[in-house]
Chain A
């Protein structure tokens, strides 16, 4: 199956709405599972990985949720396809580097993806737009229960689900939310927030997970401990912390607009100026400026613009998505030119930010139309 035909367009992807998506871009729950027989993927030799893949892949494909799914082995995917999948958060960077002996199954609405022979035999993930970690957990719990009827998991009464890395042992669960926090960054409150979240045993990471930078003011918050705490309790704990971060972000935005409106308008106006007029722009700069544009839409500086345009551009301006529309291999410099061309074109219908936000679009007041 062709990946391009399967994935929804960036525009449709950006139109997915969820509760609190002003701040929570997406919610995700992943489970690490291994089958009882066979070494973990990192230690197994290639023939054994292939054998395990041939056991697991049909079992996953046969699940009712996976009807019409995209299913492929990693050696059959081009480097470009793999990168597209990373940019859509459907596979991890680690999995994108895999080849023969690893596989991938994604359901039709792209809310469930199963990586086979990543670090563990199975990495199952559920993705939802906005703040929906509980719903994501319920969906993945169901999928996992169906799968355990077809496969025999490596499980110990004492240690729970056995995983390649001891850090995932027990529940094998990682619950995470991707947060857009420009208010806390501009208000210089982000570091104390990260520190206090860390103290609660939760990790704060960049856009693409472990070891990545926080581009575009996007942060991932997730649990770290997996042994000795039940899944539902982890989900609840994270929900509480996320509710607090959301509140802090809303407060930070409101207080900046009240106390330093010129600083905010200046940032947003300059971001618009560069995005709509540049002729060469890197993906990093683009993300950082699009973050400000997103903030601008949310605080009412672009009354006629829909926020999903910004989210669509977040996806489309990333390297693999840019490359996809061109047959010849682009250099980084060429991509920067094309990225700028696309941004100028797509931002043409967006008029300059208004000098002051309109009364109806005051910050924090337009929640109703998003849920």
Chain B
């Protein structure tokens, strides 16, 4: 197969681009691939390749440029651009803002649904329960339903006792 640019040398680099329903194939020789920047590591982002075009720019804009760095493991945005992977679990906090849009385009939702480790399950359930009760309490107070409010206050107290017991 001949390179489709110079039409002289043998093509060794094969690219396939799929956009919508259209598929385009390009076959290049090594030299033409180089001049076109296909082999250039910095010009050709693996993150974009893995996560969809534009992913790395999106992240860059929202985390304050290429210098953003994870305090835990020293991973930078540039590293993410190169590898398409993060450095450690803390990176999800460091790069949280930029990841939001990315996750939205990649997944069904942006909040986890499904299995939770048992040790965290009780804690999480209780936190959620407390938030819900607190909301109800505020509503009851606002509508001057003091009987319900008193009941809710007692319930919150009870859950709090359980919560402290579970966490310790």
> In the complex, which residues of chain A have a beta carbon less than 8 angstroms from the beta carbon of B84?
165
Contact B120 A155 (CB under 8 A): yes
Contact A145 B118 (CB under 8 A): yes
CA distance A43 to B119 in the complex (A): 28
Contact A228 B86 (CB under 8 A): no
Within 8 A of A (CB), among B69-110: 72-73, 75, 79, 83-89, 92, 99, 102-103, 106-110
> In the complex, which residues of chain A have a beta carbon less than 8 angstroms from the beta carbon of B113?
160, 170, 228-230
Contact B87 A43 (CB under 8 A): yes
Cβ of A110 within 8 Å of any chain B Cβ, yes or no, is no
Interface of chain A, main secondary structure: loop
> In the complex, which residues of chain B have a beta carbon less than 8 angstroms from the beta carbon of A167?
50-51, 106
Cβ of A197 within 8 Å of any chain B Cβ, yes or no, is no
CA distance A13 to B87 in the complex (A): 38
Q: How large is the interface on A (under 10, 10 to 19, 20 to 34, 35 or more residues)?
A: 35 or more
Contact A231 B115 (CB under 8 A): yes
CA distance A149 to B17 in the complex (A): 45
> In the complex, which residues of chain B have a beta carbon less than 8 angstroms from the beta carbon of A166?
51, 86, 99, 102-103, 106
> Distance (Å) between the CB of B29 and the closest chain A CB?
22
Contact B108 A225 (CB under 8 A): yes
Cβ of A327 within 8 Å of any chain B Cβ, yes or no, is no
> Distance (Å) between the CB of B126 and the closest chain A CB?
12
CA distance A228 to B103 in the complex (A): 10
Cβ of B114 within 8 Å of any chain A Cβ, yes or no, is yes
> In the complex, which residues of chain A have a beta carbon less than 8 angstroms from the beta carbon of B117?
148, 153, 155
Contact A228 B110 (CB under 8 A): yes
Contact A43 B85 (CB under 8 A): yes
- Chain A residue nearest to B95 (CB atoms) is A166
Within 8 A of A (CB), among B34-88: 50-51, 72-73, 75, 79, 83-88
- Chain A residue nearest to B124 (CB atoms) is A157
> Distance (Å) between the CB of B4 and the closest chain A CB?
22
> Distance (Å) between the CB of B90 and the closest chain A CB?
9
- Chain B residue nearest to A165 (CB atoms) is B85
Contact A34 B89 (CB under 8 A): yes
Contact A40 B103 (CB under 8 A): no
CA distance A201 to B107 in the complex (A): 9
Cβ of B116 within 8 Å of any chain A Cβ, yes or no, is yes
> In the complex, which residues of chain B have a beta carbon less than 8 angstroms from the beta carbon of A40?
85-89
Q: Mark A152-175, 1 if CB is under 8 A from B, else 0.
A: 111111111110111101110100
Contact A228 B112 (CB under 8 A): yes
Cβ of B25 within 8 Å of any chain A Cβ, yes or no, is no
Q: Mark B124-160, 1 if CB is under 8 A from A, else 0.
A: 1000000000000000000000000000000000000
Contact B85 A164 (CB under 8 A): yes
> Distance (Å) between the CB of B47 and the closest chain A CB?
10
Contact A43 B73 (CB under 8 A): yes
Contact of B107 among A39, A162, A169 (CB under 8 A): A169
Contact of B112 among A145, A152, A158, A201 (CB under 8 A): A158
> In the complex, which residues of chain A have a beta carbon less than 8 angstroms from the beta carbon of B106?
166-167, 225, 227
CA distance A231 to B119 in the complex (A): 19
Cβ of A68 within 8 Å of any chain B Cβ, yes or no, is no
Contact of B119 among A148, A164, A165 (CB under 8 A): A148
> In the complex, which residues of chain A have a beta carbon less than 8 angstroms from the beta carbon of B22?
none
With A34-B89, A38-B88 already in contact, the answer to whether A227 and B103 are too (CB < 8 A) is yes
With A43-B79, A148-B118 already in contact, the answer to whether A170 and B112 are too (CB < 8 A) is yes
> In the complex, which residues of chain B have a beta carbon less than 8 angstroms from the beta carbon of A227?
103, 106-112
> In the complex, which residues of chain B have a beta carbon less than 8 angstroms from the beta carbon of A159?
92, 103, 111-112
- Chain A residue nearest to B83 (CB atoms) is A42
Contact B114 A231 (CB under 8 A): yes
Contact B109 A39 (CB under 8 A): no
Contact B50 A229 (CB under 8 A): no
> Distance (Å) between the CB of A212 and the closest chain B CB?
14
**21 A-B pairs in the complex with CB atoms less than 8 angstroms apart:** A40-B88, A43-B79, A141-B115, A153-B117, A156-B112, A157-B120, A159-B103, A159-B111, A160-B113, A160-B114, A161-B112, A166-B106, A167-B50, A170-B107, A171-B112, A225-B108, A228-B107, A229-B108, A229-B113, A229-B114, A231-B115
Q: 4 more A-B contacts (CB under 8 A) besides A156-B89, A159-B92, A164-B85? A: A40-B87, A166-B51, A166-B106, A228-B111
The list of the 9 closest CB pairs from A to B, nearest first, reads A228-B109, A160-B112, A154-B89, A227-B107, A230-B114, A228-B108, A43-B87, A39-B88, A162-B89
